[in-house]
Amino acid sequence: MNERGILLNRLPEDRSMKKKVYPLFYAEKKQRFARSVVSGGFIFLSGSSGRTIETGEVSSNNVAGQTRVALDKIRLALEEAGSALEHIVKMTIYLRDMSDYQAMRDAEFGYYQEYCPSLVEDPPASTVVQVVSLSKPNMLVEFDAIAHFPDS
């Protein structure tokens, strides 16, 4: 408890004070930014798009397909760091065209229904922003996620 009587959640030393970086590889080439960074009991994921890990190329020409690939990468990155989809607390979504909003949301919640049904009822905080472009001309959507650990 602190001096004002508020109970503080103390994390294990290895999660609260140290920063751990997980690298990102596309087509077996290490990228110049992290896949995720763990710090202070949270996992901060770099933007996840419809680019496949195997080739680095965009997976499809529709927002639903790109959404599924992006969410697969988020799920795998969270598992690699020791967490899971159900622990996502904030999602920022960048859309090239706001007319794709409903198709993106349908694909997102379809993915949650399949891999983490609790997110359908209790979704993370979310912001959707329309952008002029993303890092590849045929990218339609990118997800930026923050999650915590199961014991946080």
Angstrom distance (rounded) from CA 60 to CA 145: 22
pLDDT digit string (tens) for the chain, length 152 residues: 445 455 444 444 454 558 887 877 777 888 787 788 898 899 999 889 998 878 888 989 999 999 999 999 999 999 989 999 999 999 999 999 999 999 999 999 999 999 999 999 999 999 999 999 998 999 999 999 999 998 75
* Helical residues (DSSP H) of the chain, grouped into ranges: 13-16, 63-81, 101-115, 118-121
- What residue ranges do the domains of the chain occupy? 17-147
CATH of 17-147, one of 3.30.1490.270, 3.30.1330.40, 3.65.10.10, 3.40.220.10: 3.30.1330.40
Phi then psi for 35, rounded to 5 degrees?
Answer: -70, -45
